[in-house]
């Protein structure tokens, strides 16, 4: 299998891992940075935990969803965001690289630009997000009484969630090829949409929001659909949509990035 | 206010309105959070009440949260963070302008650019959702007065957050941690009144509570006039306290500046 301009996929993958490990080596050099960022990632999750604990001290359920089931929703969403930051945080730099003309360097190197940009940084808040997110997911899993038989589905859900999240963030960060700006405003909008809506059962929102989250920007497949299936809120066949969402979102990310690179005209024009 | 402050604020204002799409989307963020909040609380409250908030009061609470959120986070936070991360702070140190004061002028200039959109968005939300009105004309006036303190408070919190960039290589994670702290402890995520006593005490002991709970409590008459004035005094104290604390922290952190390994 070869990628664009005859770069073998194996070579691209090797470049990715070499760059990623180089980032790990640089992280170890800055321990203060590591701990500040890991704590920052933990804060979000601890507050999500607190939010749900306070909410369920006042209400018995939310649209038929219990405390532990909603912990799973928040936990899986957090792990997905953490995976994005851990393995593909560089995508968030697309806007600033476009403005500064930093994409120039990447174009001249013999590896796909998207791989170089994606692996150009590791968001260390991911450590806190993944650890505390996984803790919420496991605690919710046990509390909701879901047995070990469903663990393979859980593992698949985590992997797919990380890929869908990273791909959607990449596609939306690539909008900065056309709409110039330091901040990846569309990707932030996605995170906002998820932060506000996807930690809640989708049933409480109007049908328009449900349709968008399911089919237009398939954020529901990051956490809502897999958690709904293992907790029995949705039939099992919905799980087939998860790999489909992975494929769709990855193709979308690659497509938008390629179009963006065609529109890229370096800095100062 | 010196002419240099006005000049810096004007530049930040112009920079903000130059990126019109970015500016528009910052309003959409708040708009989306408001709509999601309305959907969630409409479901949770129904015809009843939680923590003393019925549906009408909760609508007012969420609209006030939208207004303060849109105003507060429209400042030039990323520009400040990038100055430290890119090493531009080294050049700032050679300038005859105090770093904190210059950034405050820029931040508030950026916030002013969001005032028309925030007011317009709030007016639309009021017309569409018809929230509860203010408890009294005096409560309305005191609410507006309390909202003025959002400007120095938002700057103080953002500035403390960006100072973390002296020991980190990126601002994104810091920003999310700060945003989640504000969302939770301001009462935007869940009203403070629903929290257990110890968490309520903790929330009231932090400055974040003044972004939503303070103006909403004054507006809805959950505190009397003396209570409202007390809350406004607390806002003023936090505004000064954050500026002083940031100055003390800056003195320590600025020693850490290394630019290109030098």
Q: What is the pLDDT of residues A22-59, one digit of tens each?
A: 999 988 887 877 887 888 889 888 999 999 999 999 99
Question: CA-CA distance, B127 to B114, in Å (whole number)?
Answer: 20
Instruction: State whether residue A192 sits within 8 Å of chain B by CB.
Output: yes
pTM: 0.86
Q: Residue B259: its pLDDT value, please?
A: 60
Cβ contact (<8 Å) for A37 and B170? yes
- Asked if residue A97 has pLDDT above 60, the reply is yes
Q: Residue B106: its pLDDT value, please?
A: 87
Tokens of B182: 């504000």
Residue of A43, A194, A213 for testing the chain B interface, max B β-carbons within 10 Å? A43
The residue among A19 and A180 whose pLDDT is bigger is A19
Q: List CB contacts (< 8 A) between A121 and chain B.
A: 170
Cβ contact (<8 Å) for A196 and B172? no
Q: What is the pLDDT of residues A69-95, one digit of tens each?
A: 999 999 999 999 999 999 999 999 999
Helix (H, G, I), strand (E, B) or coil at B97: coil
Instruction: State whether residue A123 sits within 8 Å of chain B by CB.
Output: yes
Helix (H, G, I), strand (E, B) or coil at B149: coil
Three-state secondary structure along chain A?
CECHHHCEHHHHHHHHHHHHHHHHHHHHHCHHHHHHHHHHHHHHHHHHHHHHHHHHHHCCCECCECHHHHHHHHHHHHHHHHHHHHHHHHHHHHHHHHHHCCHHHHHHCCCCHHHHHHCCCCCCHHHHHHHHHHHHHHHHHHHCCCCHHHHHHHHHHHHHHHHHHHHHHHHHHHHHHCCCCCCCHHHHHHHHHHHHHHCCCHHHCCHHHHHHHHHHCCHHHCCHHHHHHHCCCCCHHHHHHHHHHHHHHHHHHHHHHHHHHHHCCCCCC
Q: List CB contacts (< 8 A) between B194 and chain A.
A: 54-55, 57-58
A76, A219 Cβ separation under 8 angstroms: no
The residue among A4 and B247 whose pLDDT is bigger is B247
Q: Residue B60: its pLDDT value, please?
A: 95
Mean pLDDT of the A237-248 span: 95
Give the DSSP H or E segment for B21.
helix B20-45
A226, A75 Cβ separation under 8 angstroms: no
Ranges of residues in chain B whose predicted pLDDT is under 70: 1, 19-23, 25-27, 258-262
Residue of B176, B181, B197, B256 for testing the chain A interface, max A β-carbons within 10 Å? B176
Interface of B with A in 136-195 (CB under 8 A): 164, 167-170, 172-174, 176-177, 180-181, 183-184, 189-190, 194-195
Nearest to B25 among A30, A124, A185 (CB): A185
A102, A96 Cβ separation under 8 angstroms: yes
- Asked if residue A268 has pLDDT above 70, the reply is no
**In the structure, what pLDDT confidence band is assigned to residue A1 with cuts at 50, 70 and 90?**
very low
Question: CA-CA distance, B195 to B175, in Å (whole number)?
Answer: 24
Nearest CA in chain B to A49: B184
Q: Which residue has the tokens 């007390």?
A: B230
What are B128's strand-pairing partners? none
**In the structure, what pLDDT confidence band is assigned to residue A6 with cuts at 50, 70 and 90?**
low
Q: Residue A256: its pLDDT value, please?
A: 96
Domain-wise residue ranges, chain B = 3-256
- Asked if residue A269 has pLDDT above 60, the reply is no
Whether the predicted interface score ipTM is above 0.90:
no
């Amino acid at each position: 299998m070869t990628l664009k301009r005859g770069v073998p996929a194996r070579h691209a993958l090797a470049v990715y891992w070499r760059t990623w490990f180089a980032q790990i080596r640089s992280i170890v050099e800055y321990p203060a940075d590591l701990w500040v960022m890991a704590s920052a990632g933990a804060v979000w999750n601890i507050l999500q935990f607190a939010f749900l604990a306070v909410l369920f001290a006042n209400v018995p359920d939310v649209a038929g969803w219990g405390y532990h089931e909603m912990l799973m929703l928040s936990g899986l969403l957090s792990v997905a965001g953490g995976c994005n930051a851990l393995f593909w945080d560089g995508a968030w730099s697309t806007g600033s690289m476009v403005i500064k003309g930093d994409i120039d360097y990447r174009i001249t190197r013999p590896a796909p630009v998207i791989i170089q940009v994606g692996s150009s940084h590791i968001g260390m808040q991911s450590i806190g997000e993944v650890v505390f997110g996984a803790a919420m997911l496991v605690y919710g899993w046990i509390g909701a009484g879901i047995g070990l038989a469903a663990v393979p589905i859980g593992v698949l859900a985590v992997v797919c969630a990380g890929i869908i999240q990273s791909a959607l963030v990449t596609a939306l960060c690539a909008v900065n090829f056309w709409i110039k700006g330091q901040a990846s405003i569309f990707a932030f909008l996605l995170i906002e949409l998820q932060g506000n809506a996807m930690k809640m059962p989708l049933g409480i929102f109007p049908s328009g929001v449900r349709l968008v989250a399911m089919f237009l920007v398939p954020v529901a497949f990051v956490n809502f659909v897999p958690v709904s299936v293992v907790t029995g809120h949705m039939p099992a066949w919905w799980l087939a949509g998860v790999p489909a969402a992975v494929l769709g979102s990855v193709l979308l990310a690659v497509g938008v990035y390629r179009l963006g690179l065609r529109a890229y005209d370096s800095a100062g024009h | 206010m010196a002419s240099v402050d006005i000049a810096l604020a004007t530049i930040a204002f112009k920079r903000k309105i130059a990126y019109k799409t970015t500016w528009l989307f910052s309003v959409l963020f708040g708009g989306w959070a408001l709509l999601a909040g309305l959907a969630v609380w409409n479901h949770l409250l129904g015809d009843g009440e939680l923590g003393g908030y019925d549906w009408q009061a909760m609508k007012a609470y969420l609209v006030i949260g939208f207004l303060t959120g849109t105003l507060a986070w429209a400042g030039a936070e990323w520009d400040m963070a990038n100055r430290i991360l890119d090493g531009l702070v080294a050049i700032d140190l050679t300038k005859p302008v105090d770093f904190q004061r210059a950034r405050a002028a820029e931040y508030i200039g950026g916030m002013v650019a969001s005032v028309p959109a925030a007011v317009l968005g709030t007016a639309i939300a009021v017309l569409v959702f018809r929230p509860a009105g203010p408890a009294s004309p005096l409560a309305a006036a005191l609410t507006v007065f309390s909202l003025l303190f959002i400007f120095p408070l938002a700057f103080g919190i953002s500035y403390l957050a960006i100072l973390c960039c002296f020991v980190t290589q990126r601002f994104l994670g810091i920003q999310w941690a700060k945003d989640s702290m504000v969302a939770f402890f301001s009462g935007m995520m869940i009203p403070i009144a629903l929290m257990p006593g110890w968490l309520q005490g903790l929330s009231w002991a932090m400055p974040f509570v003044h972004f939503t709970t303070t103006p909403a409590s004054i507006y809805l008459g959950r505190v009397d006039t003396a209570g409202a004035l007390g809350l406004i005094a607390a806002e003023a104290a936090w505004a000064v306290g954050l500026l002083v604390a940031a100055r003390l922290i800056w003195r320590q952190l600025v020693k850490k500046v290394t630019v290109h390994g030098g």
